[in-house]
Amino acid sequence: MSVIYWYNGKLFESQTLELNINDPGLLYGATIFTTMRVYENSLDSKLTHWSLHCDRLLFSIKAFGWIEPDWHQVRQGAQILREHFPVLRITLFPDGREWIIGRLLPADLTPKQTNGIVCAVASIELSRSLPAHKTGNYLSAWLAKTLSQQLAAQEAILVDGGGNWLETSTGNLWGWRDGCWWTPPLAVGILPGIMRSQLVKWLEYQQQEVKEQPWTMDLIPGFEAIAYSNSVMEIVPIHTVQQPQGSLEYDPHHQSLQILRSFFSMTTSPFWYTLR
């Protein structure tokens, strides 16, 4: 497959991107981005959540006082690349330039979704900056995942100063105990994931209780099952969490996980007509 990408209104076939050496995106990671999975080869598929991804970008643009991109150009580039890739990463620069790249789904996605993965708890110092935004300065999360992979884990769990679990390096956490789902609240400093928000609404629609509370050391051992979610991987169970004081084991085949998975197969439900 040719290496193609979209940058500032043009399609390129190249493995390199030319930036000014003083570009703040290059010097400081001064960019924002969103990563979406294109379902049914359509940006307008219910599960693609095109408008929600654009809303997230716009939220950060307004918060930072940046220039809005040409949204028609952004969609044009995404339309072209979705013909080649099921996953798109849309990056915006402070001056309104857009950069879109694509990639394939992970080859091992189905085994991970079916049997779960191993996570390792990251060092406290590896916390994300500006956690409410997806910025190009993703070094701490990247380091956390890279160091976890050296321990034979596939993901890292980020923690706060008290050791409470926040999120994985690439997604939001979910836990099942006491007959309901639990997820850390946004107030603790986590990314307001698009998939997280949709799953909260889905569970409530299914009359499933969702408790948004900090994941303390008292709460975590009592989970029967845990998983993480994001817009690309959907739902991935976690069967083992490595921590300095010993590993925790969870059931990756717990029946409760089917409640989350059903979100991706019930697009004809009246639920979808309630979303705006």
The CA-atom distances, in angstroms, between 147 and each of 16, 31, 234, 243 are: 27, 24, 23, 13
The CA distance from 273 to 142, in Å, is 37
Structural domain contains residue 115? yes
Q: Which of 89, 112, 92, 110 is nearest to 100 (CA)?
A: 89
The CA distance from 10 to 77, in Å, is 8
Structural domain contains residue 272? no
- Choosing from 103, 130, 149, the residue where a domain stops is 103
Lookup: tokens for 136: 């190009």
- DSSP annotation of 93 reads -
Query: pLDDT category, 270, cuts 50, 70, 90?
Result: confident
Q: How many structural domains are present in the chain?
A: 2
Helix (H, G, I), strand (E, B) or coil at 22: coil
Averaged over 137-158, what is the pLDDT?
A: 96
- Choosing from 103, 136, 157, the residue where a domain stops is 103
Is 86 in the same domain as 126?
Answer: no
Structural domain contains residue 187? yes
Is 113 in the same domain as 211?
Answer: yes
Is 128 in the same domain as 183?
Answer: yes
Is 99 in the same domain as 113?
Answer: no
Is 136 in the same domain as 248?
Answer: yes
Structural domain contains residue 35? yes
Whichever domain contains 156, its CATH number is: 3.20.10.10
Which are the contacts of 86, defined by CB distance < 8 A and separation ≥ 6? 37, 38, 102, 104, 105
Q: What is the per-residue pLDDT for 271?
A: 74
The CA distance from 16 to 5, in Å, is 10
Q: What is the per-residue pLDDT for 136?
A: 95
Whichever domain contains 66, its CATH number is: 3.30.470.10
> Amino acid identity, residue 143?
L
The CA-atom distances, in angstroms, between 36 and each of 39, 93, 102, 111, 180 are: 9, 18, 10, 21, 28
Is 127 in the same domain as 9?
Answer: no
Mean pLDDT score across all residues of the chain: 95
Structural domain contains residue 269? no
Lookup: tokens for 141: 């999360």
- Choosing from 50, 78, 103, the residue where a domain stops is 103
The CA distance from 168 to 190, in Å, is 10
- Pair 90, 36: CB distance under 8 Å: yes
Share of the chain above pLDDT 70, in %: 97
The CA distance from 57 to 90, in Å, is 9
Is 41 in the same domain as 146?
Answer: no
pLDDT digits (tens, 9 = 90+) for 163-192: 999 999 999 999 999 999 999 999 999 999
Averaged over 6-16, what is the pLDDT?
A: 96
pLDDT digits (tens, 9 = 90+) for 18-73: 999 999 999 999 999 999 999 999 999 999 999 999 999 999 999 999 999 999 99
Q: DSSP string of 31-74?
A: -EEEEEE-GGG-TTSTTT-HHHHHHHHHHHHHHHTPPP--HHHH
Burial track 197-224 (b if 16+ CB lie within 10 A, e otherwise): ebbbebbebeebeeeeeebeeebbeebe
Is 68 in the same domain as 157?
Answer: no
Which structural domain range is residue 258 located in?
Answer: 109-264
